[in-house]
Amino acid sequence: MVAHPDPAVLYPDVATRGSLGAALQAVAEEGGFSLPVRASASDPLHCAAVDSALPHRRALLISSSAIKRWWSIRGEGSIQYVPLIQGDTDDLTQVARAAQAWHDGVALTDIPQATPFVHLTGRFEVPDHDPVRLTESQWQGLRTEARAAEQPGYQALVEAAYAEPALRNLYPFTSHWALRFSTTTGPFTSIVGPCLLADDIDRYTVSAAFTGKDPLAEATTAQEAVAAAVRHLPSGLGPVTSGAFPAENRRELGS
């Protein structure tokens, strides 16, 4: 079992304040602005959240590393559990400024200009939660992630699937680097059709299970794999519908 450093040693400023939330508030006050931070009840030294003034944004999640002095942020839309922004830094002042921008409703594309450690995931905000637009946003996020993954086979697979209208009209998501599809948006996905897996840049598997079990086809190009997947799609698929939690459940979950 790996022993982690004492949080008081890694984060003496946080320990002195009693919580990450209090430390963020203090940093904000020093910078001349206020920040409504909620400290975690279960792990106050490592976790905090900052609500947004925009109803279609969930609270910005802020967490600290247990291994080295490092903070991470993650900002999600109100009904999906996929990031719109994320980032890591060792500068708590920058974390506070990113949290302020998220809280104040600053446009996603403008947040990295004020706090360069923040990265856009490629997904865009859909205030009215339109399923078709959420699907477009998810595709954009997966394509952005694939380009950054430095796995040519996987990137080729995502791009080939996006180029195919029958798949582009479905909500995409990944599991263990396997590409899957749904007739509903997240978080309640309704899986449809086969799973696509890039074993290598010239070896692809189309299977009924995401682990590659129950193979339906093997291919040497991403385009061939996508064509095989389309052949195994059920007929009569309609437009993507919402897979959101009911409103009362979102309130219970603290959305």
pLDDT for residue 246: 64
What region does 55 belong to: left with phi over 0, alpha with psi -120 to 50, or beta? alpha
pLDDT at 201 > cutoff 90:
no
CA distance 132 to 110: 25
Distances in Å between the Cα of 73 and the Cα atoms of 1, 67, 82, 255 are 27, 16, 13, 16
Give the pLDDT mean for 215-223.
95
* Cα–Cα distance, 124 to 107 (Å, whole number): 10
pLDDT of residue 198: 93
Instruction: Quick: pLDDT tens for 138-184.
Output: 999 999 999 998 899 999 999 999 999 999 999 999 987 799 999 99
Taking the model in full, what pTM does it have? Answer: 0.90
pLDDT for 2 equals: 59
What would the pLDDT profile of 62-105 be if each residue is shown by its tens digit? 999 999 999 999 999 999 899 999 999 999 999 999 999 999 99
Distance CA 178, CA 157 (A): 10
Enter the tokens of residue 94: 């920058």
Enumerate the H helices of the chain as residue ranges: 7-10, 12-17, 20-30, 92-104, 111-114, 131-148, 152-163, 165-168, 222-231, 247-252
CA–CA separation, 102 vs 60, rounded Å? Answer: 7
User: What is the pLDDT confidence band of residue 251, given thresholds at 50, 70 and 90?
Assistant: very low
d(CA 181, CA 210): 11
Give the full edge-to-edge strand order of the sheet including 37-39: 37-39, 47-50, 60-64, 71-76, 83-89, 118-120
Asked whether 207 and 215 are in contact (CB, 8 A), the reply is yes
Predicted pLDDT at 176: 77
CA–CA separation, 203 and 11 (whole Å): 47
